[in-house]
Structure 1
Amino acid sequence: MRVEVGGLSIAYERAGAGPAVLLAHGFVGDGPATWGAQVEALSDEFTVIAWDAPGAGRSDDPPDGFGMDDYADALAAVLAAQGIGRAHLVGLSFGAALALAVTHRHHRAVRSLALVSGYAGWVGSLGPEEADRRLARSLQASTLAPDDLVAALAPSLFSPSAGGERVDAFLVSVRETRPSGFRAMARASHPDQNHVLPRIDVPTLLLYADHDVRAPVAVGEALHHAIPGSELVVLTGPGHASPVETPDDVTRELRRFLRTAEHRSR
């Protein structure tokens, strides 16, 4: 499925019926490769939408200077174009920072937040020096050949024991990363979003993984202290891309949280 938003053609998958859940992927991969297991499983009781952010998957590349606020406005417009007034937002990594930006700019569109291996922007969660280093490494990685990009990123996306068809399919999507979109999402990941955290007043799940070297559990603990009433859950085993590596564990925690959040919002 596709929708025209701000001059961009945005692709997404939609399945199921019930309360709306928007799934936002990280700065590599795309919606189906990241969230395929959750779309399939959660669509039995929710309307599940997995978008391809501008610059990823089947969506158009964004224009120069496209920042996190622009991504947030685009996501909100995708929801509005489908007649969805409010949605539960679930974001992985860059997608989690995006969910924070949507909450800040389009508060009425957000029913709850589930931040999976997320940051309050790289500056906000890692500090300015590490954020600058990560951005520089990402921009350099964007110049690599596809196989070299996969080789460079895969060790930081999964635990050493990761494997299977879903991991393989996700790495195919990483291989298909478009440099301009990757750079845009990396740059959008950089700014500090800590100012958003104390103002969050919707149910919030923080889902982290004990083998994550990109967004360690300490990042989740800091967000937990800053977001009023938030819940922190740490998964045992997976690395950064837990929805791909341990889909059943992620789906279980999301389903539990979404049911509770939906009940609280009625």
Structure 2
Amino acid sequence: MDTVEVAGLRIAYQRAGSGPPLVLLHGAYEDSRVWERQLQDLSDEFTVVAWDTPGCGGSDDLAEGAGSLGEILAGFLRELGLADGVRKPHVLGLSFGSGVALDLWKTHPEVPATLILASAYAGWAGSLPPEEADRRYRQASAELDKSPSEIIPAWLPTLLSEQATEEMKSRVARLFEDFRPTGMRALLAASGRVDYRPVLPTITVPTLLLYGALDVRSPRAVADELHRQIPGSELFFLPDVGHLSFVEAPEAFDAEVRRWVRAHG
């Protein structure tokens, strides 16, 4: 694990391979370890970089005045030499990480070559009915006062399909066990009520929307609306998998990412 300082924050990350840069942004309660398979499989062709979002893994907690996550990500990519005005990364955001990718576009549209939004929302407030967005925010706030063992059983059925193996469930549970309540609380305060709908029609880079067909957290209606709002976007559903499609179907997920980056490299 390497680190770099951005906006006064220590940001931890993993890096592997060489070639066109592909940046991986994990979801909530996770860190870069969730991308272990992609760091291994896709680094044969690409420079794969997976960061720990501020507040997660080995990164410092998000501090007041550090800037939005999109601004911090832009600084991170520049520090690593992956966004210098000539070289531009392909940015893949998963779930909560898709909001980070959208914030990057909002604040620094010159940075990404393409966007890959997996299991994505335009923020809860931008993709869900108001009562459901509010319920999720209140639920997440309350969970931060509980131990991981109390919240994992409620989360797993919404992240993985019924076909997921015990090994897959154990892998996700182990990652959730390590989340930091203080870090997640800061992230929730900064982005839990953000609405990215105004950003969607402004996106001009090629955008792939990648969803699990059995996703109950960001269901088909959410995917269809993002597809409708983002000009020229491509929508692809991975069959028989849930929200964490890259855990349940890593070969198919990686194949779609590889196809996309090749096509737009």
- The answer, yes or no, to whether TM exceeds 0.5 is yes
CA distance in structure 2 between the aligned counterparts of 1:242 and 1:162, rounded to whole angstroms? 10
> Distance between the aligned counterparts of 1:259 and 1:96, measured in 2?
21
Alignment partner of 1:191: what SS?
coil
| Distance (Å, rounded) in 2 between the aligned partners of 1:259 and 1:181 | 35
Counterpart CA distance in 2 for 1:116 and 1:29 is: 15
Deviates more, 1:239-248 or 1:40-49: 239-248
Which runs of 5 or more structure 1 residues have no equivalent in the other structure?
Answer: none
Deviation by residue 1:95-128 (Cα, 9 ceiling, x = unmatched):
0111011011111111000000000111110032
TM-score (normalised: structure 1) = 0.93
Q: CA deviation at 1:164?
A: 5.0
Quote how far apart the aligned CAs of 1:77 are. 1.0
Q: For structure 2, which runs of at least 5 residues remain unmatched after alignment? A: none
Q: Name the structure 2 match of 1:191.
A: 194
CA contact (8 A) 1:97 1:189 kept: no
In the alignment, structure 1 residue 212 sits paired with structure 2 residue 243: no
Q: For residue 214 of structure 1, report the CA deviation from its aligned partner.
A: 0.6
> Aligned to 1:61, what secondary structure does the other structure show?
coil
How many residue pairs align between the two structures? Answer: 259
Deviation of 1:132 (Å): 1.1
User: Quick one: percent identity of the two aligned structures?
Assistant: 44
- Any conservation in 2 of the 1:149–1:175 contact (CA below 8 Å)? no
Residue identity in the other structure for 1:90: L
- Where do residues 131-142 of structure 1 align in structure 2 (5 Å cutoff)? 131-142=133-144
SS in 2 for 1:108: coil
More helix by share: 1
TM-score (norm 2): 0.94
> Could you give the per-residue CA deviations for residues 35-83 of structure 1, whole angstroms, max 9, x where no partner exists?
11111111111100000001111111122587xx621111111110011
Structure 1 counterpart of 2:116: 114
Partner of 1:182: 184
The 3-state SS of whatever aligns with 2:68 is helix
Partner of 2:38: 38
The 8 Å contact of residues 22 and 50 in structure 1, kept in 2 or not, is answered as yes
The residue number in structure 2 matching 1:100 is 102
Q: Which residue of 1 aligns with 2:159?
A: 157
Root-mean-square deviation (CA, aligned residues, Å) is 1.5
Name the structure 2 match of 1:76. Answer: 74
Quote how far apart the aligned CAs of 1:152 are: 2.1
